[in-house]
Amino acid sequence: MSSVQKAVIPVAGLGTRVLPASKSIPKEMLPVVDKPVIQHVVEEAVKSGIKEIILVTRSGKGVIEDHFDKHYELEAELSRKGKTEILESIQNIVPADVTISSVRQPEALGLGHAIQCAASLVNNSPFVVILPDVLVNNYTNNSTDLSKMISAYEATGASQIMVEAVPEDKVQMYGITDCEGKTPSAGESVAISRMVEKPAPEEAPSNLAVVGRYVLPGEIMQLLDETKPGAGGEIQLTDALDTLLQSNPVEAYRMMGKTYDCGSKLGYLQAHLAYGLQHPETKDGLTAFLNDLGK
> Which positions touch ligand G1P (CB under 6 A)?
111, 131, 133-134, 174-175, 197, 209-212, 236-238
> 160 vs 238, which CB is nearer to ligand G1P?
238
> 5 vs 172, which CB is nearer to ligand G1P?
172
Tally Cβ neighbours within 10 Å of residue 95: 8
Residue showing the smallest CB distance to ligand G1P in the complex:
175
Continuous segment of H or E residues that includes residue 260 = strand 258-261
> 158 vs 166, which CB is nearer to ligand G1P?
166
Query: CB of 17: closest distance to ligand G1P in angstroms?
Result: 9
Query: CB of 112: closest distance to ligand G1P in angstroms?
Result: 8
> 64 vs 114, which CB is nearer to ligand G1P?
114
Query: CB of 198: closest distance to ligand G1P in angstroms?
Result: 7
Alpha-carbon distance of 35 to 68, in angstroms, equals 12
Query: CB of 172: closest distance to ligand G1P in angstroms?
Result: 10
Nearest to residue 7, comparing CAs of 39, 40, 57, 55?
A: 55
Query: CB of 18: closest distance to ligand G1P in angstroms?
Result: 13
Cβ proximity of 258 and 274 under 8 Å: yes
Nearest to residue 54, comparing CAs of 2, 25, 113, 11?
A: 11
Cis amide linkage into residue 20, ω under 30° from 0: yes
> 7 vs 286, which CB is nearer to ligand G1P?
7
Nearest to residue 37, comparing CAs of 47, 25, 52, 51?
A: 25
The amino acid sitting at 131 is L
Cβ proximity of 12 and 105 under 8 Å: yes
> 42 vs 286, which CB is nearer to ligand G1P?
42
Cβ proximity of 224 and 235 under 8 Å: yes
DSSP class of 12: -
Cβ proximity of 90 and 77 under 8 Å: no
Nearest to residue 156, comparing CAs of 255, 249, 220?
A: 249
> 138 vs 236, which CB is nearer to ligand G1P?
236
Query: CB of 225: closest distance to ligand G1P in angstroms?
Result: 18
Query: CB of 84: closest distance to ligand G1P in angstroms?
Result: 39
